[in-house]
């Protein structure tokens, strides 16, 4: 064993002067656990050829997770033959505290995992308790279905429920980063993916494998099994010509840059035009998104959401006996019942009315706060938020915000006879409140109607088919849809609508070669 530098753990000095903690049962148990898991993962095909790795923090209730010691499997060792003595023990900052002894052959100690810097990054950014790196063939092949894709998407599969923060009806999104010659060179890309996808618990590496983390080794292992199952299902659906990224898993409608189960098709481009192809400037109807399109994302995330979250209990208490709030509660009860069946994280049972008003409200607040944290696009939440915001607008505590070019464009389109509609995940009430009380006055006179998620999810093509039918156009291409979300653009395009993507400050980056016209101002339309 190599010399162990001194390190403070929860105020207790652990180092060359004292090996008690490093030789404690907690550390030994973690080493044994990793060797057992490596053998199991080898049999699953995740760590063959000495590839792949796993790291677990030494669980100790007396030590906060960020300060717990780290046990890590080595590189270059046959995983099915690994023993506890082969493991490295690191400080929370990554310093070696314990190194394995040389092997009988080739008479040198195993080196620490090449994944070490990536493991430490996941610990630091995600407060993980364990990280698994798999070379499972499913996790490699699924990134190759579409070499232009930047993310993997799948929905309406039972095993999605095994991924933290997801239920059966949710869409699971896993970012994909490009492979490099050396493992440690992936660290920056991994960090950027975690920042761009704060809800993810995994990052795929193209032509390589996957990194998966969890609050504990149990969570990481469970999710790893679910991810591999879902990747295998996606590959098999693709072989059958079916699309795993749509709720009905119907025939593939491939779009460049999105990886569900699809590959490629070219987007329609006019002769002589580039990828930002021109579309006719005026349509019979224009449908606008709100967040990131007419309105800064920051207004929604930093003003509306905090206001709703901070006033849930107050609003429910003050309006509990009204028909409006009782209808909101009925919707929430139904949603939470479904969430509990699906195992959605944060869902807690809502007691019956016999339990008393205070207990019912407490449970409702807990569920609503969890829904808001997860940014769920569900009618029950959006309807309640709309009623809370209504009170805020009526009390002059809120004012809607739109970009400076929006009022002028709306006025121009109105004068030309073009009908303008709003389609947002926020309720129709919330939409009317925002546009009726903006920093430029009441803009509702320029709007012909409002659509929300009662017509369908904004990332599903059939929602835009429903809107087309509602507007009574002769063909969907007579509708121009403007949004900042690439997946919504793809869905609208699949339904036959013309699409423009809005580029505004604070919006998420678009995939390379996305194939859509973009604007920075409505005055460009």
Return the structure tokens found at 197: 């996808």
Give a yes or no: residue 249 inside a domain: no
Specify the pLDDT at position 378.
87
The model's pTM is: 0.52
Torsion of CA 365, 398, 521, 485, to 10 degrees: 0
Name the band, by pLDDT with cuts 50, 70 and 90, for residue 367: very high
Are 388 and 404 found together in one domain? no
Taking all residues of the chain, what is their mean pLDDT, rounded to a whole number? 87
Residue 452: give its domain's CATH number: 3.40.50.1000
- 285-288 and 479-483 strand pairing: parallel
Specify the pLDDT at position 11.
37
* Residue 406 in this model has a pLDDT that exceeds 80: yes
Question: CA 409 to CA 418: how far, in whole Å?
Answer: 11
Q: Residue 76 region, left (φ>0) first, then alpha (ψ -120 to 50), else beta?
A: left
pLDDT in tens, 283-323: 589 999 999 999 999 998 899 989 988 999 999 999 999 99
Are 166 and 236 found together in one domain? yes
CA distances to 12, 47, 301, 335, 522 from 189, in Å:
35, 22, 26, 37, 34
425 marked ligand binding residue? yes
269 Cβ contact list (under 8 Å, min separation 6): 275, 277, 515
Name the band, by pLDDT with cuts 50, 70 and 90, for residue 17: very low
Specify the pLDDT at position 283.
59
Residue 351: give its domain's CATH number: 1.10.720.60
Question: CA 25 to CA 89: how far, in whole Å?
Answer: 14
Domain boundary among 331, 366, 395: 395
* Residue 100 in this model has a pLDDT that exceeds 80: yes
Question: What number is the average pLDDT over the span 367-371?
Answer: 92
215 marked ligand binding residue? no
Question: CA 38 to CA 9: how far, in whole Å?
Answer: 27
133 marked ligand binding residue? yes
Are 348 and 421 found together in one domain? no
pLDDT in tens, 481-490: 999 999 999 9
Question: What number is the average pLDDT over the span 356-370?
Answer: 93
Q: How many domains does the chain have?
A: 3
* Residue 201 in this model has a pLDDT that exceeds 90: yes
**Better pLDDT: 102 or 493:** 493
pLDDT in tens, 110-152: 888 889 999 999 999 999 999 999 999 999 999 999 888 888 9
Strands in 498-502's sheet, in edge-to-edge order, are 449-451, 419-423, 285-288, 479-483, 498-502, 517-519
Specify the pLDDT at position 9.
40
Are 414 and 373 found together in one domain? no
424 marked ligand binding residue? yes
Give a yes or no: residue 189 inside a domain: yes
Give a yes or no: residue 74 inside a domain: yes
Domain boundary among 376, 395, 414: 395
Return the structure tokens found at 147: 């070499």
Are 413 and 391 found together in one domain? no
Give a yes or no: residue 458 inside a domain: yes
Are 36 and 143 found together in one domain? yes
The candidate with the shortest Cα–Cα distance to 201, out of 187, 231, 221, is 221
Which residues sit opposite 291 in a β-bridge?
A: 295
Give a yes or no: residue 385 inside a domain: yes
Cα angle for residues 143, 145, 146 (degrees, 5° grid)? 85
Are 156 and 40 found together in one domain? yes
Question: Do residues 6 and 22 touch, judged by C-beta distance below 8 A?
Answer: no
Specify the pLDDT at position 215.
96
Question: CA 173 to CA 367: how far, in whole Å?
Answer: 23
Domain boundary among 395, 430, 453: 395
Specify the pLDDT at position 8.
43
Residue bearing tokens 């039972």 = 158
115 marked ligand binding residue? yes
208 marked ligand binding residue? yes
Q: Which domain holds residue 507?
A: 285-292+399-524
Residue 43: give its domain's CATH number: 3.40.225.10
pLDDT in tens, 230-287: 999 999 999 999 988 777 787 875 433 444 444 333 333 333 334 443 434 345 899 9
**Collapsing DSSP states into helix, strand and coil, what is residue 212?**
strand
Give a yes or no: residue 115 inside a domain: yes
Give a yes or no: residue 9 inside a domain: no
36 marked ligand binding residue? no
Least confident piece of the model among 241-255, 370-384, 454-468: 241-255
Would residue 158 show up in a list of annotated catalytic residues for this protein?
yes
Are 164 and 28 found together in one domain? yes
Are 112 and 208 found together in one domain? yes
Question: CA 36 to CA 39: how far, in whole Å?
Answer: 5
Specify the pLDDT at position 330.
93
Kindly name the residue from 23, 93, 158, 278 that is annotated as catalytic: 158
Are 451 and 359 found together in one domain? no
Are 87 and 200 found together in one domain? yes
Specify the pLDDT at position 131.
98
Are 332 and 223 found together in one domain? no
Question: CA 201 to CA 345: how far, in whole Å?
Answer: 14
Specify the pLDDT at position 103.
75
The candidate with the shortest Cα–Cα distance to 518, out of 492, 480, 483, is 483
Give a yes or no: residue 504 inside a domain: yes
């Amino acid at each position: 064993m190599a010399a162990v530098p001194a390190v403070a753990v929860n105020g207790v000095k652990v180092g060359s002067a004292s090996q008690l903690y490093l030789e404690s049962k907690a550390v030994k148990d973690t080493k044994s656990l990793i060797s057992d898991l490596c053998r199991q993962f080898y049999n699953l095909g995740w760590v063959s050829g000495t590839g792949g790795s796993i790291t677990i923090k030494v669980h100790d209730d007396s030590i906060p997770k960020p300060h717990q010691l780290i046990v890590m499997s080595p590189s270059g060792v046959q995983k099915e033959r690994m023993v506890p003595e082969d493991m490295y023990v690191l400080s929370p900052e990554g310093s070696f505290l314990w190194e394995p002894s040389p092997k009988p052959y080739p008479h040198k100690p195993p080196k620490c995992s090449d994944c070490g810097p990536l493991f430490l990054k996941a610990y630091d950014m995600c407060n993980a308790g364990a990280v698994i790196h798999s070379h499972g063939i499913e996790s490699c092949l699924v990134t190759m279905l579409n070499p232009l894709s930047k993310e993997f998407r799948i929905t309406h599969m039972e095993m999605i429920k095994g991924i933290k923060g997801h239920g059966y009806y949710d869409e699971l999104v896993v970012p994909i980063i490009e492979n490099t010659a050396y493992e440690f060179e992936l660290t920056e890309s991994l960090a950027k993916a975690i920042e761009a996808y704060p809800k993810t618990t995994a990052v795929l590496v193209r032509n390589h494998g996957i990194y998966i983390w969890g609050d504990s080794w149990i969570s990481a292992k469970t999710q790893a099994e679910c991810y591999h199952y879902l990747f295998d299902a996606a590959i098999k659906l693709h072989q059958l010509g079916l699309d795993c990224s749509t709720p009905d898993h119907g025939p593939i409608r491939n779009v460049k840059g999105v990886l569900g189960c699809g590959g490629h098709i070219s987007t329609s481009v006019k002769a002589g035009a580039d990828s930002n192809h021109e579309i006719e400037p005026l349509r019979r109807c224009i449908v606008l998104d709100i967040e990131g399109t007419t309105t800064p994302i920051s207004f929604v995330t930093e003003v509306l959401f905090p206001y709703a979250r901070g006033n849930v209990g107050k609003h429910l208490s003050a309006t509990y006996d009204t028909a409006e709030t009782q209808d909101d509660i009925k919707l929430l009860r139904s949603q939470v019942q479904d969430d509990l069946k699906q195992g959605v994280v944060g869902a807690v049972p809502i007691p019956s009315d016999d339990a008393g008003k205070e207990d019912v409200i407490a449970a409702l607040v807990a569920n609503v706060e969890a829904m808001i944290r997860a940014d769920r696009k569900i009618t029950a939440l959006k309807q309640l938020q709309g009623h809370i915001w209504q009170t805020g607008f009526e009390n002059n505590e809120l004012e809607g915000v739109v970009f400076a070019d929006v009022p002028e464009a709306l006025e121009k389109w109105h004068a030309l006879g073009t009908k303008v509609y709003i389609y947002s995940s926020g309720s129709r009430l919330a939409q009317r409140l925002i546009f009726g009380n903006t920093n430029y006055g009441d803009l509702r006179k320029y709007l012909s109607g409002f659509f929300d998620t009662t017509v369908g999810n904004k990332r599903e093509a059939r929602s835009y088919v429903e809107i087309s039918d509602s507007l009574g156009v002769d063909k969907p291409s007579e509708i121009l849809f403007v949004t900042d979300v690439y997946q919504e653009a793809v869905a609208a395009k699949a339904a036959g609508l013309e699409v423009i993507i809005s580029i505004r400050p604070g919006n998420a980056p678009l995939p390379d070669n996305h194939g859509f016209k973009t604007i920075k101002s409505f005055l460009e339309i």
